Structure 1
Amino acid sequence: MKRKSLFALSAVVVVAAAALVPVLWSGGDNLHNGSAMAATPADQAALIKKGEYLARAGDCIACHTVRGGKQFAGGLPMLTPFGTMFTPNITPDDQYGIGKWTQDDFYRAMHTGRSKDGSLLYPGFPFTSYTKVTRADSDAIYAYLRSVTPVNVPSRPHELKFPFNQRNMLIGWRTLFFREGEYKADPTKSVEWNRGAYLIEGLGHCGMCHTSINAMGGPVSSAAFAGGLIPLQNWYAPSLTSNKEAGLGDWETKDIADLLKTGVSARGAVFGPMAEVVHNSLQYMSDDDINAMATYLKTIPQKSEAPEPLQLETSEKFGGELLKQGQKIYGDNCAKCHAENGLGMPPSFPPLANNQSIQMPSAVNPIRMVLNGGYPPSTEANPHPYGMPPFAQALSNTEVAAVVTYIRMSWGNHGTAVSPQQVSDLRSAPLD
C-alpha cells in the first residue's frame, strides 16, 4: 500500500512541480564527512542490519536501483508530462553518492526535505511521510547505506521544463502540503497499533498512492486513504476506508497480514504496483511488524471518498448486451480457474464474487488484469504464485468490456457496465 509509491510526477502547484516517486536528490556540493558509529563493531553491525531492514520497509531499492543495475546507483528514468526525472545515486561514493554526507545531512533530508546544501528536495522523495521517522531509525538507514558498495556513477540531472526545474519555487507547495515532525504515539492506542501507524504513515508512505491528489499536486487530506488513480501508471489504488472498495474493516487481521506478507490471502491477491511493493519490501518485514500494520489498517476510520475517476458509462440496453456476451466469454476463458459461480479457489485463484476490487466505481484494475494479465509477487512464503494470462491479443475491446461487465455485475456483485472505449484507452497503458 505503499507506493511506489510513488511512480511519477503528479501535478503542478502554481509555483512548483511535484513527483510522486521516491527520489533523493543531493543537489549540492558535499562539504562534510561523517558516519553513524556505534560503540563496538558488534553494535555497528547490529545498527547496519537494522538499517537494512528499515530501508526495506521504506522500499528504497524500488526507485534507486535500475533493473539489472548496481544496487542503489540510481538512474531510473521517470517520464512525466513536465520532463524526465532520474533517481540519484545513494551509494557511499564520495564523488557521486552520499559518501560525504553526515548523519545530520541525511536526517535533514528525511525530516525536512532539504538536501545537504539546504536546497529543496522535490516531493517525489516522500519526505512528507519520512519526516515522521525517528532520528534513531534515520541514523540506522544512513549506517546501512554507508555500508553498501560505492558506485562511481554520476546522478543524471533531471530534464524538467521551465519553470518546473526551479527548485526554490517549491516553497509554495511546501507551505500548503508539508508539516514537519516525527511520529507522535497515540497514548490511547496499543503499542502494536502505534507501531503499525508509524510504519504505514512514515516509512511505508502508503498514503502517497491510496490518497487522491488535488489539482495542485497535494494530497486530499479530508480523504486520506480513500483511494486514487496513480498518475501516469493507469492503476487505481483502492480506498482503504470503504468496504465498497478495499476497506479492511470486515477483514480478519490474519487475511490483511497474509496479503501484505505474501501477496495472497483468502480474500484476494495483489497485482500491479502493489505486487512490486510486496516483492521488494513487505515480504522481508517481521511477522510482528506485519501484524502491527494489519492492526492499524483494520482500524482506519471511514472517511470521505476520493473523487470518482472518469467512468465512461454505457446505455442500459448496451450494458445488457455486454453482460450477455460476457457470460459466454467468461465460461470459455475464466471459469476453469475462477469457477462458474465466481468463488474461485483461493488463495491460488482469487474469488470474483463479492470481491470489492471488482465492484469499485473505477473499473481500471479489472480491465488491466484482463488485458495484461499478471502475477502476485513471488515471496518466500509463496515462491511460485499462480498467474493470470493476458487476453489483449485474444479479445477485442468489446469482448474485454463484456467479460469485465459480466464479472462486475454477476453473483451479487454491484458494479456497473464498462465501455469498450475505456478498454481502448487502457490497452496502450504502460505495463510498469
Structure 2
Amino acid sequence: MSKVSTPPLGTILFFVSLVGLALPLGLSNATCQILGAVLLLPFVWVCRRQAWVGAIVLFWLVSLWILRRNPADGNVWFQFMRSGAPLTMIVIFLVSYDTLSRKFSSVLSADRSISTRLMKGIVYIFPALQLIQVVAFKAGIPIANTVLFSIGDNTRVFLPQLFTSLMLVYFGVRSNRITIVGMAAVTILATGSKSAFACFVLLAFLALFHGKRLGAFSGRLFTIGIVGFFAIGTSALVLDRAHDYFRSDFSDITREWEISYAKEAFSADVTSVLFGVGVAKPLTPGALTEDPAWFENSRFDIENAYWSILAKLGVVGFGLILWLFSRLRMSGVVLALYVIELVVSLGSGYTFFGNFDGAFLIVWAALIEALLRPERRARPLTEASSHRSGAAAV
C-alpha cells in the first residue's frame, strides 16, 4: 500500500500566497494591501540573494523623500510606504524573475504528486474564487475583497490582482483552457475598465497566434469566439464606456486633470525632471469624493502610470524601470507581461504605486512561464535507453 505524500511547507506557502487575496472574505482596500504585502514575503525570501537591490531602491526613495519632503503634511510616511513598498517588491521580482521561474519549475517537477497537482490547479482555483466574489458583489452579498467599486448600483467592482486575471487570459487561450478564460473574463469585464478590456482583447489574440500550429490555432480560435460572444453579451458597461470615450474625442476629464498636475510637478525644476518629487508628496488637490481615505490617497495618485513615474521618480527613475523590464529574457509570457504593463498603465497608476497588483503580476508571470515550459524531468533509465547506451558504448 503506497504512502500518500503531503505537499511540503514551501508549496503550501506558495499556494496560500497566490490565492490569499482571492478568498471571498469581504476585505477593504486597506486590509487587502496589508495582506498583499505579507503574502508576497515568501517570494521575497526566494529572491533573498537579489533582495539587496530592494534595499538600494528603498535608500534611494528615502533620500528623495528627505530631499523633497513636505513637513506640513503629516501623512507622508503612510504614503511613502503605500507607494514605496510596492515599487520595491516590483524591482526585487524583476531582478529575480528567472530565480522565481526556476523555483516554480522545481516545485512542478518534484516527485510529489499532490504538490504538482496543487500548483497546476491554482490556475483554476484563483479565477474561480474571483468569480464567486464578482457574483456575490452583483447579488449584494458583502464577501468581495474590493479595491474600488461603484456605490449604490453595484455595476463596477475592482478586485485585488486584476492584472493576474489578465495574465490568466493569456495562459488560458494559449493552452486551450476555455474555462479559465471565461472565469477571468467575468472579473475583467466587471471592472468596466476600458484599458483592461483592450488588454484582454490584445492578450487573447497574442496567445491565439502563438505557435502557428493548425490544430492549436483552431482550438484557440474557438476559445476566442466563445469568450468574444460572452463578452459582447455581458459587458454592456465596458462597451458603453468605450463608446462614450470614442465619441468624446478620446477624452477623459478626470485623467487629463490629474496628468496636468503631474506634468506641472515634473517640470517644476531641474531636480524634479531628473529625480521627480518623490513618492510621498501630493501631486493633485484630490478627487471630489465623500470618502476621506479615498480623497487623501487620490492626492498622491495619477491615473496614468507613465506620468505617475515621471512625476514621482523623474527621468532617472523612469529609465531605470525601463532597463529592468528590458533585462527579462524574451518569451511569450514576458511579451504578455509587457502588453499588460504598457496598456493598463495608460489608464491606471496602480501598476507600480498604491497596491501590490504589479508585484503579484510578475510572480504569476514566473509561474505561468514554468507551467508552459516543457518538462525537463530526469527520467529513469529505461530498458530501451539502456540498449541505446550500450550500443553507443560499443
Give the TM-score normalised by structure 1.
0.22
Give the TM-score normalised by structure 2.
0.23
> Of Structure 1 and Structure 2, which has the larger fraction of its residues in helix?
2
Could you say which structure has the greater relative contact order, defined with CA pairs below 8 angstroms and 6 or more residues apart? 2
> Of Structure 1 and Structure 2, which has the larger fraction of its residues in strand?
1
